Structure 1
Amino acid sequence: MSAWRRYDSHLMPVFHERFEKRWGQGTAPFLDPEAHEAPLPRAQWINVDTGAALAVVPVWTAEDNQHRSFGVFYLPPAGDIWVLRPGFTEYLEPSADEAEQLVGLRNDAFRKAVAHAKDFLFGPETSVF
């Protein structure tokens, strides 16, 4: 039985702290736990035995809030942060009045990133979200 469990609460602050420690302050608005209007969808897991964690979150730059992709971030128990590469997961962030097609493309990108995360955590047999 795996020690990895879904964590369906707010984004853990340690993701933001470790990312900015490695790449500089202000480089991770997408991981900011103080952002109360968190972009969705996202997913998190925590390893109850080791304290390691993994998150799938929408990623964007300060200059362009509409063009996004999904990032997969792994926190080893000993510190640091790893950026896992799920492949092409880019999409346009749909507004409230945008076409349903953009929402579908976002959800497809999210499913691909989550499948990559689950492959990393549990092996390739568990890619179903």
Structure 2
Amino acid sequence: MSTWRRYESHLIPAFHERFEQRWGRGSAPFLDPEAHESPLPRAQWINVDTGAALAVVPIWTEEDSQLRSFGVFYLPPAGDIWMLRPGFTEYLEPAAADTEQLVALRNDAFRKAVAHAKDFLFGPETSMF
């Protein structure tokens, strides 16, 4: 039986700290715990036995906050951070006035990244919604 559970509380500070330790200060605006809004949509899991964690979050650069993709980040219990590669998950962040098409593309990219995360955690046969 898996000890991975969905986690709805704010894990982002741990992911932000480890990301910046590895890739430098200011390299992860999408994980910044001081940001006024959490990046959405997102999904998080924690392993209750080991303390490992996994998150699916939208990622972008300071230069272009509308062009995004979804990243899957794994925090091993002993430290460090791993970026898992879910494949092509790029989309344009929809503005309030944007069409349903942009929202649908974002949601499709999110589902693909979540399926990849579930494959990593539970195996390929459990990633279906």
Matched, 1:34 2:37: no
How much does 1:39 deviate?
A: 2.3
Q: Name the counterpart of 1:66.
A: 66
Helix, strand or coil: the match of 2:65?
A: strand
Helix, strand or coil: the match of 1:44?
A: strand
1:68-116 Cα offsets, whole Å, 9 max, x none, are: 0000000000000000000000000000010000000000000000000
Residue pairs, 1:1-129, within 5 angstroms: 1-129=1-129
Judge conservation of contact 2:7–2:45 (CA < 8 Å) in 1: yes
Provide the C-alpha distance between the structure 2 equivalents of 1:39 and 1:16, rounded to a whole number of angstroms.
12
Q: Runs ≥4 in structure 1, deviation > 3 angstroms?
A: none
How much does 1:13 deviate?
A: 1.0
1:25-66 Cα offsets, whole Å, 9 max, x none, are: 000011112223112100000000000000000000000000
Provide the C-alpha distance between the structure 1 equivalents of 2:26 and 2:46, rounded to a whole number of angstroms.
25
Letter in 1 for 2:21: K
Q: Aligned residue pairs: how many?
A: 129
CA RMSD after TM alignment = 0.8
Provide the C-alpha distance between the structure 2 equivalents of 1:125 and 1:12, rounded to a whole number of angstroms.
28
Letter in 2 for 1:40: L
